[in-house]
Structure 1
Amino acid sequence: MILYSYGSILQINPADDVLETLTSHGHILHQADVSTSSLHRKHLIVIKNTYEVVIDKVAWATLCASLRSIGNGSKIIIVSENDNIKDLGTTGAMRIDPLLQEEYWYFFRSLAFGSGSSILEEHAGLAVVGRQIAAELHGSLFGAKVLGRFLRANLDEQFSHTMLNTVYRFHEVMQRDKYFTKLSIARVALKVLPMPLRLKSASQTGEASEMPGTMVQELVAGSVLPVEKEMEVVLWESAYQPSYRYTVVCERVEKPRCSATKRMKQK
């Protein structure tokens, strides 16, 4: 019934201009036939908003006015980790409960070690550490997607311990009372890479196949080494439509060198 109620259903980013999006951008989830589109002036907009993005209330009012000018009855759905967006809507927020601990472990394990048991049989210690990592992530789906694939790219027990210690330290800094945001997961990911990288910025963008960038699994496996001072790294890319990437821009951290005077004193 939803498909027949709206002229178009689109998914967009919070920063997109809605009027422009309706004509040329955004991922079209549904488009009415040309012969019937004039009868369906209503639009359904799905906005995927990350925790870090703040939606300005003035911009929000402009967005709603833009939709009303296009056609009465248009709706906006915001999918977000940010509790503050609940005040923007005209109806109550619908909360999605996190996965239970065992359900989340199954999700994390499938991404890290596959659905079979052959990898865990060959690397028994990884299952123990992997379960501890999953417990520390407290149901973060993005954390499972990124860090689970890290483990998949480097089935080394020492590497998994490094990841566990890094996640644990980040949780301590957050005073263990906050959930991991995507930005937090990005910082954890860069910390466990074999080469030091410092996060400069992060963004979630669409049309993944058209964008360049080094896949983070290549850095984990060591098949690609950072050459430039600054580089763009793809932490995660969706496998299905609507496709999008979570990309970070980071810079190499130069290791401090001992001065000639210091070396002389050491001699």
Structure 2
Amino acid sequence: MGELVSRSISLLVDRYRKQKAAPTEEESLRSLQRLLLRLCVVVEEADCRLITNQTMLHQLSILKKEVYRGYYTLDVFSCQAHGEDRKKGQEIKYSFAKSEFNPAKRLCFCSGSNKGAAKAVLLEQVLGSIRDTIEDLSEFVMFLCTCPRLHRQPYTMHLLLNKCMFGRQMEMEHIMNFLLQEESASGAEDLAVLPIIGPGKVGKSTLIEHACDDERVRSHFSQILCFKGDDLNNGSVEILRDGGRSKHQNHGMGGGRTLIIIELFLDIKDSVWKRLYSDARSRIGSGSKIIITSRSDKIASFGTTQPIRLQFLTQEAYWYFFKVRTFGSTSTEDNPKLTAIAMDIARLMNGCFMGAAIFSGLLKANFSTRFWSMALAILRNIKRQNILLYGERFDDAWDFEEPVYLRRANKTSSECFVIFAEYQICSPETEPEDPKMVSLHDLYFGSVRPQGNFKVHAWTSHLPPHYNYMFRCGIKELPEELSSS
């Protein structure tokens, strides 16, 4: 009898310990929120410091990825909880649950106990990863205290994003080191070249814009000139005499140094590059630099230093960026339905910075569930219609290798709008007022009925000289593949 009582007590104690060791989902989410607050304190403090050590920048990048992953998980669970609360009598489905890229978005495929187990595993993985990251922070914080503090006004994150290049701190430091590094006497005759390689709409031009907006760069160079690849291949390299498109003039400072930026779509002929490089080296002052960008890896051979290779942000990081730009200081916890719609829109953007700038501006101007649902429907229709035309390779509505067909949100007919294959960047000072130009909002949602070919003002850059981004559009009959769909 004593043996039986002893075993019964041991069994009860073991069960109690297991129940106590397994927190509920709500407790795990609260723990995740507390850990993210601790991590955000370090990240925000690091953003206020001038960090030049590449290893510290790499560790800071890891910290930020954990922050993005943690907040992404919180938002996913918040949206799912909202959907479950409203599911009585109807089925709520969000497309972010269908993605195969992240465990948090596959939870809706599970059911019953399997779904609960998958959610528990996901939370445990995220919590464990963030706990491990926080435990390794002691040395990072110690060295962070030795970094000089940047002079910056108090900010909130949605205001700070307009002043920094999100998710590219290591790449930005690489560019700044390249631009501000003084040339040695032995290499004075060589012209330093930095290649930047990456797919379309990954942010190559935006990264350069942020670098050129830095006061240290503007005081280091007397002028900053920009050339397009089409100008170089179709014309003569003598266009250097014409000065290209001037981004910055700083007479009396910069020691006569010139920064030349060359933006290529794909490749440039070797013969054209050799003549351009030779011409630039003979015409511009000592200490001048060249930055060349392209989607093609071929330009890596043109560089005098290691190229920068840009990839799209992870889905968690891109969602954080899109959420902050769209919601601003508004809490996503108070708007779970809008958050769910915004997550769908962010997923369809495929990490495109240009798409985020356009649609975050549209959504922020109208905090309406109906309006946001219309915007989501537009993106889904664009992708569905153009996949029917061009196949599965059409996965980005903003990568203009093909004309993009789209219908107006409140219009159904045999006609549709077509965004042609290229977009142009125009300066507000040089772009005349065009009576055929419409805004993107009016094109999608308004009552404007443009005819023939026309221009669409997509958005205006917040960086000087505040270029306007334009689309060339037209009205066409729907192709047969779309008219029946």
Structure-2-length-normalised TM-score: 0.43
Which structure carries more strand by proportion? 1
C-alpha change, 1:177 and 1:163, in structure 2 (3 Å) is closer
Q: CA deviation at 1:140?
A: 1.4
1:85-124, aligned counterparts within 5 Å?
85-111=299-325, 113-117=326-330, 121=334, 124=336
2:400 is the alignment partner of 1:183 = yes
C-alpha change, 1:252 and 1:97, in structure 2 (3 Å) is closer
Q: CA deviation at 1:157?
A: 4.5
1:1-267, aligned counterparts within 5 Å?
1=180, 6-16=221-231, 20=239, 23-33=242-252, 40=256, 42-49=257-264, 52=265, 54-71=267-284, 72-111=286-325, 113-117=326-330, 121=334, 124-152=336-364, 155=368, 156-166=371-381, 169=384, 175=392, 182-183=399-400, 187=404, 191=406, 193-194=408-409, 196-211=416-431, 212=434, 213-226=437-450, 228-254=451-477
Greater gyration radius: 2
- The separation in 1 between residues aligned to 2:419 and 2:243, in whole angstroms, is 32
Q: Per-residue CA shift, 1:128-176, capped at 9, x if unaligned?
A: 1220221233321122123333444664244134134236535796647
C-alpha change, 1:158 and 1:206, in structure 2 (3 Å) is closer
Q: Which amino acid aligns with 1:221?
A: F
Q: CA deviation at 1:45?
A: 0.8
Which one is further off, 146-155 or 198-207?
Answer: 146-155
Residues 142 and 182 in structure 1, CA contact (< 8 A), matched pair in contact too: no
- The separation in 1 between residues aligned to 2:339 and 2:279, in whole angstroms, is 52
Q: Which amino acid aligns with 2:304?
A: T
Counting aligned pairs with the same residue, the percent is 25
Q: Which amino acid aligns with 2:341?
A: V
Moved over 6 A (4+): 176-180
Give the secondary-structure state (helix, strand or coil) at the position aligned to 1:165: helix
- The separation in 1 between residues aligned to 2:348 and 2:270, in whole angstroms, is 35
Which structure carries more helix by proportion? 2
- The separation in 2 between residues aligned to 1:120 and 1:19, in whole angstroms, is 57
Structure-1-length-normalised TM-score: 0.71
C-alpha change, 1:43 and 1:209, in structure 2 (3 Å) is closer
Runs of 5+ unmatched residues, structure 2:
1-179, 181-216, 480-485
Residues 11 and 26 in structure 1, CA contact (< 8 A), matched pair in contact too: yes
Residues 200 and 248 in structure 1, CA contact (< 8 A), matched pair in contact too: yes
Give the secondary-structure state (helix, strand or coil) at the position aligned to 2:400: helix
Q: CA deviation at 1:185?
A: 10
Equivalent residue, structure 2, for 1:259:
none
Give the secondary-structure state (helix, strand or coil) at the position aligned to 1:44: strand
Give the secondary-structure state (helix, strand or coil) at the position aligned to 2:418: strand
Cα-Cα RMSD:
3.7
Residues 224 and 261 in structure 2, CA contact (< 8 A), matched pair in contact too: yes
Equivalent residue, structure 2, for 1:261:
none
Q: Which amino acid aligns with 1:222?
A: G
Q: Which amino acid aligns with 2:323?
A: R
- The separation in 1 between residues aligned to 2:240 and 2:280, in whole angstroms, is 11
Aligned residues: 245
Q: Per-residue CA shift, 1:213-257, capped at 9, x if unaligned?
A: 32212222305321x21111122321221332332222212479x
Q: Which amino acid aligns with 2:423?
A: S
Runs of 5+ unmatched residues, structure 1:
257-267
- The separation in 2 between residues aligned to 1:44 and 1:219, in whole angstroms, is 38
Q: Which amino acid aligns with 2:425?
A: T
- The separation in 2 between residues aligned to 1:253 and 1:225, in whole angstroms, is 13
